Structures are given as structure tokens and as C-alpha cells.
Amino acid sequence: MIIGIDGNEANVEKRVGIGEYAYELLRQFESSRVQNLEFRIYLKNLPMGHMPKEREGWRYKVIGPNKMWTQFALPLYLFSEKVRRPFRKGTPPQVFFSPSHYAPRFSPIPTAISIMDLSYIHFPELFTKHDLYQLVNWTKYSAKNARKIFTISNFSRDDIIKTYGKDPENVVTTYLGIKSQKTMNNKQNMDELEKKFGIDGKYILFVGTLQPRKNVEKLVEAFSKIKDKKIKLVVVGKKGWLWEGIVGAPERYKVTERVKFLDFVGDEDLPSLYKNATCFVLPSLYEGFGLPVLEAMQQGCPVLISNVSSLPEVGGDAAVYFDPENTDDIAKKIDQVLSDEKLRQEMIEKGYNQIKKFSWEKTARKTLEVLQELAKND
């Protein structure tokens, strides 16, 4: 059996969100070595160095043109493989998987996609016009044509079923995983963090792409209200859409000297930022999952998160929750965690137990089982 996969989300230098999800699935698929199972990874560009190396049963196919790739280049190539002209060697895939919202516009073989969340449906005002158009329209046709849809929380699963009218049997929850400690063991102390990032003293940490639904402006406002006026706020994340208001928030709330923006931080440094933080705060208005919650727990960092969308699913009883629309509530909960050492230790221990529920191996195994069953039943 051959499984075709759109590998473009994974084939980027700085992976966040769906890019990290796609990469970890590919890494797990390549290492699975299931008998009589082959993978063909379709790309717009040559595979980057971090991608799994080619071998028998794991091949890359680079096709173009890049523009409107899922609309024209990919589906036309899949059709050409399916036709199997006499001079064409090889066998076409029996199923095609896109670990993103976008499937081939038309496909001669069964397709499956992944939809992380429907934030663009519930908060359209938080997206640029171009991104919103693409998310709404391309996801709609992809969801309609997909035989199976993977998503990353039961909250998102229910949302997808309701929004796109899919049969519940065809929408599958596969929780995200978390990297093992072996890949995140290069811990740095505060002196090293100060040299590298200019961070000194105690700090509260946020990790996530700078975009409106992450609610960072409200976090900055809440931060300006907490009792400890010496602690800092460190904001880690690359600039997404509509980021300008976010980076301007510290000046508006008169905490410019106490807020530091670090942009994207890679896996070699991120664990140290979690490990040395006094607490991690994620005030999102909407999350399909919220992987930084688990990353913080893994490093023994107390977690405070919004009480909405999928976040209670991910945080379980290990997190402290607040109303993301209420800056007084956010500030109150932060003050509570900062001042109560017993509570902090309880949160840390519960966090270690919570992360045991999640692994990329489990995510990939379930995904692969569904794809193989889809191919067999076609």
C-alpha cells in the first residue's frame, strides 16, 4: 500500500502549530517501518535538511508550479499517476493525506485532511481579508470532499461536525503529542538566558504566534494590574496577522520596561525559557489544542490558561483557569499562583501526570490506522 502525503507544512525552517504537527507525523510515519507500507511525500520545493531521509518505502516527489499548488499542480499530478500510462512506471497512492485544511481541489483517490480548529468561523474579524477568504472557502471544499477529517480535540471535532455536516464517524480526534525529554535536555540557567535573550530576574512566559485570537493585548493589560511590579513578562512568538496592536500594548499600559518580545525561539532554547519561568500564561480566545500548555508542564512550569474552547481538555486538573475576556480575573489568578508556593508545587506535580496522556507516537499510530482502513475500504 502507498500513502501519499502533502509534506509542505513540515518542509519549512521555523515550524509552529500545524507545521509542527505535520513534521512530527512525518517523523513518526517514517520510523514506523510497517511491512508492505510505502509513503510518497509530495512537495513544492526540495526537502529541507530536517526532513526524514529518503529510503526504500519513503520517497519525495517535487512538483510545480508552486502557485495555487493544491488547486492545480497537485491534483493534476495525482490524476496523471492514476491514469498509469503504459510508459509510466510505478503505482499511484491508494489514499492521500493532507495534514492541513487544504486537500487537492479534485482527487482521483480517497483523501483525508486535518483541521486544527475553526477559529476563522467564530472570530472572522481577527483575520486578514486574504487569509479569511482562503480559510473559509478552501477549507469548505476540502471538508466536503474529504473521506476522513482528523482534528486535535473533541471540542474541535464537535465544531467540525456541526459546521460542515460531516458524519461523526468520519471526524477523528487525534490529540497532539509532545517531544520527549531526550530532545529537550539542553537546559540553560538564568545567567545564560540573560546573555542570550537579555532576560534577568523573575518572569511570566507566553508562547504563541502573535495574532489577535491569542489575546496577548489582554494579557499585557492584566499584567499591568498584578501586584508584583518587579516581575517581567516575556512574549515568545513570531509575528502573525494583525500583530501591530500587540507589540504596541506595553506602551499603552505603561509597562514597556517590563515586557520583552523575543520573536520565534527554537527547540534548543524554548525548554529553558519554560523551565526558568515563574509561570506560563495562555489567554487565548480560542484554541484547537494549545501545545505550549503541555510543553510548559513538561518543564515543571505552572500553567494558567483560558477556560474556553479546547484548553480545559488539554490542561485537565493541572492548570488554573480564568476568563480570557476579564483582565481583572486574569490578574487575580496570576497573583494567586505567584504568591502561593504550595499551589505552585501542586500544579507542577499534576502537570507531570497530565502530559503522560499525550504522545506523538499515539497520534501517528491512530492516524495511520485510519488512513490504512480508508485505503482498504475504497
Question: Where residue 128 sits, what CATH number does that domain have?
Answer: 3.40.50.2000
Same domain, residue pair 85 and 18: yes
CA distances from 144 to 18, 40, 97, 163, 315 (A): 20, 24, 15, 11, 32
What global pTM score does this model have?
0.83
Rounded Cα–Cα distance for residues 282 and 271 (Å): 16
Same domain, residue pair 153 and 270: no
Q: Does an H or E element contain 13, and which? A: none
What confidence tens digit (pLDDT) does each residue in 96-153 have? Answer: 999 999 999 889 999 999 999 999 999 898 788 888 999 999 999 999 999 999 999 9
pLDDT at position 54 is 96
pLDDT at position 61 is 96
Same domain, residue pair 364 and 352: no
Domain count, the chain: 2
At residue 134's C-alpha, the angle toward residues 26 and 136, to 5°, is 95
Same domain, residue pair 14 and 136: yes
For residue 234, the SS3 value is strand
Contact 293, 225 (CB under 8 A): no
Same domain, residue pair 295 and 325: yes
Range of the domain at 20: 2-177+359-377
What's the pLDDT band for 89 if we cut at 50, 70, 90? low
